[in-house]
A and B are shown apart, each in its own frame.
Chain A
């Protein structure tokens, strides 16, 4: 977290970042973003991570299908619904009702699921050059950086891999539209 880039600040309780009306800081903002992505992570958590939740298993299946070719219409619909729910709530749940609705649910997904979702979104953004998946991955990463002390060493490794991919995608996008990001 920096003064120009407050989005990775840990948030208490149920507070979430909504990103509404974010201020404009000019080119200096890009350096502030990079600083949060390249900063050393805190010491990892110890202990055994929980088994993958239902949502993470679904995400893993989608990712596998994507790596073999593409998401079929049904999986794509599910993916879009999960993305919609995440963008509305800025949370992931361990399981969902039909159509990835979550009314009344309180079973937060473990952070491993957040990393898996961000990884899938980056893969879709790279494959299809779509902005909404990249947009959501940036938000997921902000939260994960703020909670990096809760991640195991293996989860931190996966997060850092994601962050490197995120930076490459942003660099490619910036180059394509002629914006110097340093």
Chain B
């Protein structure tokens, strides 16, 4: 088994960031720096997780990731859990270590926002794609895809389910590293015609959520 590399989790204080931090802890990550921007509260669970694990933790008043200083550790990887709808500037991507993102959609078919709902609406499996961010939205190399059972019917999906499936995919990626000492080679995603999706209208969202089978279907 291989040790996990030094990782910087750069994040806003969101439930997704907490789920990522817990996934890193579960995976046995030891050299982790959490940089939390957007003025996190002093009692954020991220600080508590860092203290529990002996990780470095920095709080920042930066309003977006583009204002966050480079990490202090010699991180091999960075992990992004930003504000809703936040896009990482190209200059940040160029300066930071390779930045991982967990997108709740099957790439390249489902690029953009709220793709989880669009997949449900079109009867496609719930899929999270692990990718390395690039300046074009959801267009970086895809390292891994993981499918999940459909959520319970009527679940609003905005919080726990979304955070959980992304964090479980992070956990699987870390397990790959522990077995192989590196990230997976990018997947060959073929030439599927990409479609860009934008924040789903509440009407389509209701159709998606009410389409979900009463009993969670298998991936």
Chain A interface residues (CB < 8 Å from chain B): 5, 7, 18-27, 29-30, 33, 80, 83-84, 87, 130-132, 134-136, 138-139, 170, 173-174, 177-179, 181
Cβ–Cβ contact A80 & B196, under 8 A: yes
CB under 8 Å from chain A, chain B span 141-193: 154, 156, 158
Across-interface contacts of B198 in A (CB, < 8 A):
83-84, 87, 132, 135-136
CB under 8 Å from chain A, chain B span 96-117: none
Across-interface contacts of B209 in A (CB, < 8 A):
24
A18 to B205, CA, bound (A): 14
A128 to B196, CA, bound (A): 15
A131 and B122 in contact, given A23-B156, A84-B196, A174-B207 (Cβ under 8 angstroms):
yes
Cβ–Cβ contact B158 & A132, under 8 A: no
A173 to B195, CA, bound (A): 19
Cβ–Cβ contact A179 & B196, under 8 A: no
A19 and B200 in contact, given A131-B121, A177-B121 (Cβ under 8 angstroms):
yes
Give me 22 A-to-B residue pairs in the complex whose CB atoms sit less than 8 angstroms apart, sorted by A's number.
A5-B202, A19-B200, A19-B201, A24-B156, A24-B206, A26-B154, A26-B206, A29-B203, A30-B203, A84-B198, A87-B199, A131-B118, A131-B122, A132-B197, A135-B198, A138-B201, A138-B203, A170-B207, A177-B123, A177-B211, A179-B210, A179-B211
Cβ–Cβ contact B196 & A19, under 8 A: no
- Chain A residue nearest to B206 (CB atoms) is A29
Identify B199's interface contact among A18, A170, A174, CB under 8 A.
Answer: A18
Across-interface contacts of A83 in B (CB, < 8 A):
198
Residue from the set B118, B121, B202 with the largest chain A CB neighbour count within 10 Å: B202
Assuming A18-B199, A132-B197, what are 10 further A-B pairs, CB within 8 angstroms?
A19-B199, A19-B200, A19-B202, A24-B209, A26-B206, A30-B203, A131-B121, A135-B197, A138-B201, A174-B207
Cβ–Cβ contact B158 & A173, under 8 A: no
